[in-house]
Amino acid sequence: MRQIKPDILEVGAIDWDRRLFDELIPLPDGTSYNAYIVRGSKKTALIDTVDPPKTDMLITNLAEAGIERIDYLISHHAEQDHSGSIPDILEIFPDAKVVTNEKCKNMLIDLMGIDEQKFIVVEDGQELSLGNKTLKFIFTPWVHWPETMSTYLVEDKILFSCDFFGSHLATSDLFVTDKSRVYESAKQYYAEIMMPFRSQIEKNLEKIKNFDIKIIAPSHGPLYNEPAFIIDAYKKWISDEVENKVIVAYVSMHGSTKKMVEHLVGALMAKNIGVQQFNLIGADIGKLAIELVDAAGVVLASPTVLAGAHPAAAYAAVLVNALRPKAKYLAVIGSFGWGGRMVEQLKGLLTNSKAEILEPVLAKGEPKEEDFKKLNELAEKIANKHMEYKAN
């Protein structure tokens, strides 16, 4: 249990040991499931809960804080890492009402089997008095589910933002102390779950713009007592601006594709283009996601396996398609022995992308003089694109 201010407490759980989220997202630094108590002169609210395996920690923290009554359980988001302990909390505090929006209510009924009678449904902008403290609900959809919302504590100027502005970072720091570390974690978090909803996030940033916010209290990672730090970072990440950087993600079986990658990367570097090269076998998907936030383009490189792309390259294409980065162009290079439809297959996996698809470069077997020439031409084309996009 950690005190933010008198009567405003963080009572969630730090998950130091978790290493994977959704069986997909690497958590090199663990995470936390933040939950908050706001004690008003008349009513007490619990804002969000924790992931079910950490329910005991939430209950212990509530006991330690001397919380004998919860009137309102504010649920911002139905995903289980924040809502999973609601049924246990309702058992301990049977008079508590779950306060949320209509969409989240329906999801909580579907996911948790919570009794419909337990809910108070609120509208966007509605306020709820705790006596000397007022909660104002701000709907912030698609960060990263359609029902997500935030709460503004009017008197103390705190925005409880749930996943929005969060970071997967287990730390004993209540507030951000190491900015560069939090920036990286928050960027990775944005890349993995927020990036596909850039335009919605822009609307949400616009929506909170006129609130006087002194503290942002997300549901993962440390709190921000300099909100501009994370708000400005989000503005940069969602903007259309790209950096002078290409991601080259490859897999190679017998070395031909690798030779092509090395040649292309050398040609790009000679033109002062920044490159992030990933060997997809064993690559850290989180690091790849971070680079996707602002890279100008992506090159996927694959050999041909059983007439198609190597499954590792197909996985990368599916990931890029799901994360919908703002990359301006995509290219496929690779090798084949006797034929195949590798390029068509990868293109077919990238249907969400609005990026320009550049002419592929394919080598039959070992890359030869003419293949290297085509890779030089591709590097030239990429350099021109970067000038065009003013990538910097």
What is the binding site for ligand FEO (CB under 6 A)? Answer: 77, 79, 81-82, 144, 163, 219-220
Crossing angle of the two packed helices 227-238 and 198-208, in degrees rounded to 10 = 150
CB of 81 to ligand FEO, least distance (A): 4
CB of 318 to ligand FEO, least distance (A): 20
CB of 70 to ligand FEO, least distance (A): 21
Q: Which residue is nearest to ligand FEO (CB)?
A: 79
Q: Which is nearer to ligand FEO, 163 or 291 (CB)?
A: 163
Checking 60-69 for CB contacts under 8 A at 24+ apart, the result is 61/1, 61/9, 61/11, 61/12, 61/13, 62/11, 62/37, 64/1, 65/1, 65/9, 65/11, 65/37, 67/11, 67/37, 69/44, 69/93, 69/95
Q: Could you give the CA distance from residue 12 to residue 34 in angstroms, rounded to a whole number?
A: 4
To the nearest 10°, report the CA torsion of 210, 211, 217, 223.
70
Q: Which is nearer to ligand FEO, 77 or 105 (CB)?
A: 77
CB of 34 to ligand FEO, least distance (A): 10
Distances 40 to 93, 163, 191 between C-alpha atoms, Å: 17, 24, 37
Cα–Cα–Cα angle for 201, 320, 143, nearest 5°? 20
CB of 79 to ligand FEO, least distance (A): 4
Q: Which is nearer to ligand FEO, 40 or 166 (CB)?
A: 166
Q: Which is nearer to ligand FEO, 187 or 220 (CB)?
A: 220
Beta strand 72-74 pairing with 97-100:
parallel
Q: Which is nearer to ligand FEO, 163 or 371 (CB)?
A: 163
CB of 220 to ligand FEO, least distance (A): 6
Q: Which is nearer to ligand FEO, 82 or 105 (CB)?
A: 82
Three-state SS string across 5-65, please?
Answer: ECCEEECCEEECCCCEECCCEECCCCEEECCEEEECCCCEEEECCCCHHHHHHHHHHHHHC
User: Which residue type is seen at 175?
Assistant: F
Q: Which is nearer to ligand FEO, 75 or 252 (CB)?
A: 75
CB of 166 to ligand FEO, least distance (A): 7
